[in-house]
Amino acid sequence: MKKLSILPHVAVTTALAFAGSVAQGDEVKGNAAAGNAKVWLCIGCHSIPGYRADYPMTYKVPMLGGQNAAYISSALAAYKNGERKHPTMRSIAASLSDQDMADLGEYYAAQTASSPNNPLK
């Protein structure tokens, strides 16, 4: 019968626990007020009711007020890393930091579907 060493199992468990705590420590917290200063990137399309973008195909552009903050942030990250393919959104998202995405998510989550999506009015 072979003796199994517990040392490799302890090392792997410790490494996984440390990696999990680092990932949680890096979580970005969004700020709606900070998002208000960054929303100018979005209002050109997302503040026009019924707007449709037509490059490279016709897309119905959604109004974002009241949307879940985490959803907006993750959607922007998906555009940035290429999981979502719209070329305009991808180029805009490429310029955003994780903090910017979280701030924009919180800004739109603080709105309602009927609130003005254009803070510059």
DSSP 56-114: SS-EEPPP-TT--HHHHHHHHHHHHTTSS--HHHHHHHHT--HHHHHHHHHHHHTS-TT
| DSSP output for 14-56 | HHHHHHHHHHHHTPPPP-HHHHHHHTHHHHHHHTSTT-EE-SS
What is the block-wise mean pLDDT of the chain (121 residues), using blocks of 10 residues?
50 44 65 96 89 82 94 98 94 97 97 66 45
Residue 53 β-bridge partners = 59
CATH classification of the domain holding 78: 1.10.760.10
With respect to residue 1, please indicate whether it lies within any of the assigned structural domains. Answer: no
pLDDT of residue 19: 45
Q: Count of domains in the chain?
A: 1
Which pLDDT score, from 0 to 100, does residue 113 have? 79
pLDDT recorded at residue 117: 54
pLDDT at 57: 79
pTM above 0.85, yes or no: no
Position 81 in a domain: yes
